[in-house]
Chain A
Amino acid sequence: MSICFSGNEAVAYAMKQINPDVMGAFPITPSTEIPEYFAQFVANGEVNTEFVTVESEHSSMSVCIAAEAAGARSVCATSSCGLALMYEMLYVAASDRLPITLACVNRALSGPININNDHSDSMGARDTGWIQIYAENNQEAYDNFIMSVPIGESVRLPVMACMDGFITSHAVENIELLETDSVHGFVGAYEPENYLLKKENPLAIGPYDISAYYMEHKVQQAEAMKSAKQRILEVGTAFEKLSGRSYGLFEEYRMEDAELAIVLIGSSAGTAKEAVENLREQGVKAGLVKIRVFRPFPSEELAKALANTKAVAVLDKSEGFSANGGPVFAETRSALYDLKERPYLINIVYGLGGRDFKTEDAEKVFARLARIAATGETGLVYTHMGQRTREAIV
């Protein structure tokens, strides 16, 4: 069924079709509409969900943790400082191996206070042990949220399904919905082996771990995250059979013979694809890799995809303040290290706090890559783009 939905509406509708047992709900721009739409579904009796309104995001995630531990499939939505306030509980969810599904509507972090899009919220949570899947548009936001449920539950890790605040969450697009029965069949029933309400065997979750045990549990988590990669691909294949829409760890756009490539995450991919098309018409072998799954990071696969390029720009929509480039750059550069012949690699931090990223910006990046490929001179490896400056650099 084709319908006109905003990204938030699409995710709320996916939640309705999943019909989770519990939603921990607290509003924050730009994710507020998700619990708002969902509250209507609850009020209308269209879902059986226990809708728990709380006083903070620390509490909304705590609700999900308790509910999931009790054996209830739980969902949540947040943005920006809300995700930051959940920080402690994100680790608890992941280390207690509770497969909660969280819609993260990406927004800049304070301060200065800003409500617009960048990825600094979820990138700040990249080491919490959550699987992270990013959407380019409304269709992907809807599809990713549905796929997140079986992915997380099969490896016992929570999943953050991310989309760009306002750009995706509030823009209205035509998308294809699955039938509700199909979604039910796809996600199945949540049947954990052990849960708090299982009266046959009492269970303790999250006990104190002394140093003689803690590391073993972290290795288990790391192994689960490694195994998630295969599971994400399997769920993607099953989803393609259902929907006709194909999902991998990342999308390669005109990469088959690309010499110059951009690597980025999220809605900017649509803009960069336009630039790729414009340059292809001029005979430039430009291509794009849009990272979909950031955790687990598709290291070997990405190295393979970029192996035959001459110059690559990694675009980070969060700063990271490492003084050595953004987080997507750090991962990509690490992934390429094992290649015998590596492309030239630069990092550009862009789009912070909702700063526009236009087709001509992507074209400027490709022009810079073309110069690097021609001269062999990388110049500054780590720069920013889109800021007012007295210097004439991209």
Chain B
Amino acid sequence: MIHAKDINERTPWEEMTPGGEIYEPGTARDFDTGTWRTDTPVFIAEACKHCMLCVPFCPDSAIPVKNGKRLEFDFMHCKGCGICVTVCPFAAIKMVSGGDAE
């Protein structure tokens, strides 16, 4: 069984999986895919009630959760789509223009 972590841009074709099949789940977290973001969500922690509505609506894995609390965005994976802003009932997320919040 070939694992996704063992395939990289130096892997010869003989050692890659047929058709690019991936034989394990959750491999997206191993790759930095947030680099092309043009808008960025900003987390306003004091307004957040930790209702967790934003978490399942995030199309990627960009809102980490620990001990029942949502944490700061994972900008390695956030594409800046803004869905979290739309679904947040407490105005605890705002969007700013550009690839990062600064």
Roughly how many angstroms separate A203 CA and B3 CA in the complex, as a whole number? 11
Work out how many contacts link A and B, with CB atoms closer than 8 A: 49
Taking CB atoms, residues of chain A closer than 8 Å to B27 are 204
Roughly how many angstroms separate A220 CA and B22 CA in the complex, as a whole number? 16
Interface residues of B (CB under 8 A from A): 1, 7, 9, 11-13, 16, 18-25, 27
Binds B, one of A207-215, A337-345, A366-374: A207-215
**Given known contacts A201-B1, A217-B16, A220-B16, A212 and B21 CB-to-CB distance under 8 angstroms:** no
Answer whether residue A206 sits at the interface, using C-beta atoms and an 8 A cutoff: yes
* Contact, CB under 8 Å: B19 / A217: yes
Give the A interface residue count (CB, 8 A).
Answer: 21
Chain A nearest Cβ from B5, distance in angstroms: 14
* Contact, CB under 8 Å: A216 / B21: no
Answer whether residue A219 sits at the interface, using C-beta atoms and an 8 A cutoff: yes
**Given known contacts A97-B18, A156-B18, A201-B1, A217 and B23 CB-to-CB distance under 8 angstroms:** no
* Contact, CB under 8 Å: A204 / B19: no
* Contact, CB under 8 Å: B23 / A95: no
* Contact, CB under 8 Å: A217 / B13: yes
* Contact, CB under 8 Å: A201 / B19: no
Chain B nearest Cβ from A353, distance in angstroms: 37
Roughly how many angstroms separate A220 CA and B18 CA in the complex, as a whole number? 7
**Given known contacts A202-B25, A217-B13, A220-B13, A209 and B1 CB-to-CB distance under 8 angstroms:** no
- Which partner residue on chain A sits nearest B16 by CB separation? A216
**Given known contacts A212-B9, A220-B13, A201 and B23 CB-to-CB distance under 8 angstroms:** yes
Answer whether residue A96 sits at the interface, using C-beta atoms and an 8 A cutoff: yes
Taking CB atoms, residues of chain B closer than 8 Å to A194 are 21, 23
8 A Cβ contacts from A185-211 to B: 194, 201-207, 209
* Contact, CB under 8 Å: A216 / B19: no
Chain B nearest Cβ from A228, distance in angstroms: 14
* Contact, CB under 8 Å: A97 / B11: no
* Contact, CB under 8 Å: B20 / A206: yes
* Contact, CB under 8 Å: B20 / A213: yes
- Which partner residue on chain A sits nearest B1 by CB separation? A201
Roughly how many angstroms separate A220 CA and B19 CA in the complex, as a whole number? 8
Taking CB atoms, residues of chain A closer than 8 Å to B12 are 216
The 6 closest A-B pairs by CB, nearest first: A216-B13, A204-B22, A202-B25, A97-B19, A212-B9, A219-B13
5 CB < 8 A contacts A-B: A202-B23, A213-B20, A217-B19, A220-B16, A220-B18
Roughly how many angstroms separate A212 CA and B18 CA in the complex, as a whole number? 15
